[in-house]
Amino acid sequence: MVSLSIPSSSNEVCATPGCIQSALRILADVDFNLDPCSDFYQYTCVGTFQYLRNANMEVIENILTGSYEDVALESTAAEEKAADKANFRLVKDFFQSCMNQDHRDKLGVQPLQDFIFPLKNDNLHDILTKLELNGISGPIFSAGVNPDEKNPNQNVVTLAQPNLGLPSKEYFKRKDVTDVYRHTMKALSRLILPTLDNEDVDKIVDFETQLADISIALENLQDPLAVYNPVTLENLEKRYAFFDWRHFFEQVTPENRTPHKIILLTPGFFDALAKIWAETNDELIKSYTLLSTVRKLASLLNTSTTDSLQDLNGKLTGQKSQPPLTLTCSKFTNDAFGDILGHYFINAAFDDHNLTSEKVQEQLETIHTIYAQRLELIDWLDEATRRKALEKIKKMAIKSMYSTVSPDIRSPLSLNEFYSGLVDTINPDTHFRNSLAVGAWRINKKWSSLNNPVNKDEWFMEPQTVNAYFSPSFNQVVVPAGILQPPFFNINSEPLSLGGIGVVIGHELTHGFDNSGRLYDGDGVLTQWWSNATKEQFNEKAQCFIDQYSNFSIQGPDGKEYPVNGKMTLGENLADNGGISLAYEAFSKTPQARLSGIDISPEALFFINFGRVWCAKERPERSVRRILGDVHSPARVRVNAAVQNMPQFAEVFNCPEGSPMNPTSKCKLW
């Protein structure tokens, strides 16, 4: 028995197989020789490296490499059996087309050339329109259909700056990265667009660098009021006459209906783009568009083409070799047909998913109630703002496990209807065409929703996803089944569950009241419902977190320190701190038990599991990418900064005041 000299508040012991397995995992993950008060992340993260994500993907791989008989349920009704077989054949054919590398090598680059060469004869406006219709986001701008944030029951068109070939605008300023990027783009042009010479490609990358320069930094896109800029189509045409917007929308919208209202998310980008466009040769912009499309689709081709992407991928992620083809194709199929695979995943991964659902729903409701009670007591909220905050938390919907509408994950018939547009288009020998078909199907669904009311039953994550989310326009917290397993969830251990999934639930609830979520009311309407005095109090308290997190940094592969952007990550940092605080209060009000075989108090188990669930074996290149282009702080920072602000943590682990994990100054909001 391992003993940790932390007083135990409970004599109850959990000795179920699940608790014993969790105890063994903790023994493997935690380095009890380290000082938890110096670096709690390091203390808890010796052995755990995202094994739940890996385990879920193994389930998906087993489904895809197996037969229908391996996943079929005897209880499936006869009328659903045929639909279930058709669904399985759909995902199996898609997966096999990806796995058939010999056939892909035989076809070479021909599938992409057959797609790209006809576009060379079109004007730029038609090229961008055709790319959109095939589900390929344009390299000039990004068009979407989303709930109107000031009228969230109605869908609206949104326009934003594009996603470029490097993860964020900062990468275009690094010569070591752009040198590799230029080399990769030249290799792709030689393989697929040989009419472009090296000088042409250099001009293309220079043009893309200009687009990066005028792109709005991620930290400046966090205020939903600032990015809500409605315009009419007529106004859009006058302001940005460089593009035929009317023709674009007539082609992509159902029944050629042009939108009455468009939300410009990044008007500053479009203002600058108009000037650059006027100064740039149309042929250069056209060549940039075609080569960018080649880059996006190259991974669907033969071995030599996918190999040409590896140097750039290695530079950006530190991964020096390509992952196994089975893993790549499993992820690709999961991205394309996640809901069908989710149906099989639920049956394979859960012995009793109804029991899991009941337990998680209980925790959701407990933490939801605690949040409402806190809103009643917080002294810096004025009464008018408090009333509206309580109204919002009361209206907040909480969903777990999987979607039961649009589609119903439980029903093969519902899934078959949902994917009906793809049933006759997926072939086991045509990976490239299959991928385009999925993209076209998705984009058709997107644009077809424009003239329909918002579907608030829609989920934005599949059941097998190890994550959760808060939708501000829907005022909903959604927790998929994929995360409701160890280490996040243990049905027999409250300390482990609340230190894991409890923190996640609290995190998502807090997003409803973070720096951006707080601007949506109980009906999901974007509006400034906070009084000026309360808003100032919020900003003052939030600044404490900005300052705290900005003092953390990570080391890149070059030995350089990269500081956390406390402003860009503020929303996630507030959610992390709210989440652990809410979950610990819920934990303190529930029956608790130690784990058999390790003499650790329930209080310590709560914090240890909080640390474990964020453990990640991350390459320095990937960490830098997160620092520069992710609204989440790096895992080490997420763990250590959150416990720094928890007086209960210092008490449980006897951390001296002023030690790294128990600073004198602490930040608190909710």
DSSP-assigned states of every residue in 551-615: T-EEE-TTS-EEE--TTTTHHHHHHHHHHHHHHHHHHHTS---EETTEE--HHHHHHHHHHHHT-
Tens digit of each residue's pLDDT (9 = 90 or more) over 157-196: 999 999 999 999 999 999 999 999 999 999 999 999 999 9
Chain-centre distance for alpha carbon 122: 35
Structural domains in the chain, CATH included, are: 2-48+350-402+459-652 (3.40.390.10), 124-300 (1.10.1380.10)
pLDDT at 50: 56
CA distances to 26, 28, 52 from 31, rounded to whole Å, are: 9, 8, 20
Residue 646 burial class via C-beta count within 10 angstroms: exposed 0-12, middle 13-18, buried 19 and up: buried
- Flag residues of the chain having pLDDT under 50: 1-7
- Alpha-carbon distance 7 to 242, whole Å? 70
Short-list 72, 78, 96, 58, CA closest to 343: 72
Tens digit of each residue's pLDDT (9 = 90 or more) over 42-65: 999 886 555 667 889 999 999 999
DSSP 452: S
pLDDT at 2: 38
pLDDT at 214: 98
pLDDT at 464: 96
Cβ atoms 614, 635 nearer than 8 A: yes
pLDDT at 326: 96
- Count of CB atoms situated within 10 Å of the CB of 242: 19
Short-list 354, 529, 489, 407, CA closest to 56: 489
pLDDT at 3: 38
Chain-centre distance for alpha carbon 171: 21
- Alpha-carbon distance 408 to 396, whole Å? 22
pLDDT at 1: 35
